[in-house]
Amino acid sequence: MKKIPHKESNTQGVRPFILVKAFTFSSLIVMLTATIVIAALNAHWVRDILLEKNKEYNSLLVENLNHQIFLRFVAPVVYKYGEIKLREKEQHKLLDTVIKSTLHSFHVEMVTIYGTDNIIGYSFDEDQIGKENAGGVHYEKAMKNQVTSTLIQKGSFLELMFMFPQETKIITFAPLIQEVEFSRSRERMVIGVIEVIRDISDDYQKVFKLQGLIVASCVIIMGILFLILRFVVKHGERIIERRAEERLKLEEKLIQAEHLSAIGGMTAGISHEIRNPLGIIKSSAQLLKKKMAKLDQESKIPDIIVEESTRLNHIITDFLDFAKPKIPDLRPCSIDEVIEKNLTFLAPQIKDAKIHIQRNYQKNIPEILADTAMLYQSFLNILLNSFHALEENGTITISTWDEPGLVHICFTDNGDGISEDVLKKIWTPFFTTKDTGTGLGLGIVKNIIEAHKGSIHISNAEPLGTKIEITLPI
């Protein structure tokens, strides 16, 4: 079976999702931009409507003011004095009373009346009275019987740029018309210009607040959509990553199965070829030892042959146990009892190496269904590895505890720990850091634990040492 490279495997699964994510995020940005633009256009449209309404309002206001001036000021003054002289205090006071009473509650900030000679004859600001040529272009248009309105906004550069000024005023220039009933001719004559300034900041502030509310609402809605989308994307990424990890684990298991199959075939082929001659060599060496005892009692050759034969037999046994793991004979057993059998067997080595065993057994741990002999072998391998990692007066802590459906066994030593490079290769068959050994001990332990549908995890303990945690189902 050909192994698919990790990078290529991930790329094949992730590429379509990346395209979907990019398209979704770009669509969200386009939607947000379009919404803000539409909101700004709507607010601009509302401002234009408001401006037109204020122009119409000012025109009606000026028309009413024009009528009231002729009705309550021009007619009585002409009748009483024969001519209008605004420099006369009584006439000025009467005109001021008429204008202010007419414009009461209309929020008019300034009223200015220009004569036909472009001289200010009346103004709320008395300092302006008598000022010449103050009307400008709008005055000229009003003298031609045209009504003009101008919007003036004040504020900082940023306020004006973002259309949020502090102050907004509308200035209207309108002709002061001599009404028909007061004229000898039947024509409507322009006898002056009225300038009206009204502060409409409140109205525009409402529009600006509406615009800000619309934009803020759009941003909040899009932000919520973004968070939802981000959650969905992250969830999708986790699913893809999980599937990629599952695929890689499956590939690793398949490759491991191929290796195991090859090792199993090789082991089955050589086991009969090696074990029978090995048994003959060992028995012959034992017989030779008896005969050599009569001839040369100091000879160690037979002992060496027996020892090496035994070691070679253990190596072959490790190969067989790793390549063809046994099916566990599941029976009720106590984890604590299995561990204590190991410690009893290893008691002489523990004493010689001056190793301290610290037991942290949880009480009343339920029994599990397991093969006692196989668990004994796996725990023995773990303890022997811990012995090799410790110096004199080292400590091994054995902890057991349970949770619903699971039993945990943890072996922790206070040795030097395992380097990251070694930790990555810890489960690789035949990998060992010892001068002797096959490198199959932990592999056999892993096979036994997985045969019991459990799991094993090796890591470095804090501050020093190695921790091996085993989880088995109850």
Residue 245 burial (C-beta neighbours within 10 Å; 0-12, 13-18, 19+) = exposed
Inter-axis angle of helices 301-323 and 201-295, to 10 degrees?
Answer: 150
Cα–Cα dist 409/401, whole Å: 7
Domain for residue 371, yes or no? yes
Q: How far apart are the first and last CA of the chain?
A: 36
Mean pLDDT of the chain: 78
pLDDT tens column, 310-324: 777 766 666 666 666
Strand partners, 174: 194
For the CA atoms of 71, 76, 79, 82, what is the dihedral angle to 10 degrees? -100
pLDDT at 8 over 70: no
Domain that holds residue 460: 328-473
pLDDT tens column, 366-387: 889 888 888 998 888 888 888 8
pLDDT tens column, 58-89: 888 888 888 888 888 888 888 888 777 777 88
Q: How many domains does the chain have?
A: 1
Name which residue leads in pLDDT, 15 or 282: 282
One-character DSSP codes across 91-104: HHHHHHHHHHHHST
pLDDT at 13 over 60: no
Domain for residue 447, yes or no? yes
Domain for residue 143, yes or no? no
Q: Name the band, by pLDDT with cuts 50, 70 and 90, for residue 268.
A: low
Task: Look at residue 407 in the predicted model and tell me its pLDDT.
Answer: 92
Task: Look at residue 2 in the predicted model and tell me its pLDDT.
Answer: 44
> Quick one: DSSP state of residue 128?
G
Domain for residue 422, yes or no? yes
Name which residue leads in pLDDT, 15 or 472: 472
pLDDT at 6 over 50: no
C-alpha dist (Å) from residue 370 to 106, 362, 451, 473: 95, 19, 10, 9
| CATH classification of the domain holding 339 | 3.30.565.10
Local structure of 299: helix, strand or coil: coil
Domain for residue 75, yes or no? no
Cα–Cα dist 23/26, whole Å: 5
Domain for residue 449, yes or no? yes
pLDDT at 3 over 60: no
Domain for residue 416, yes or no? yes
Domain for residue 415, yes or no? yes
HSE, CB side, 13 Å, CA atoms: give it for residue 438: 20
- Average pLDDT for 414-422: 79
Taken in order 289, 295, 300, 304, the sign of the CA dihedral is negative
Residue with token string 């668990």:
375
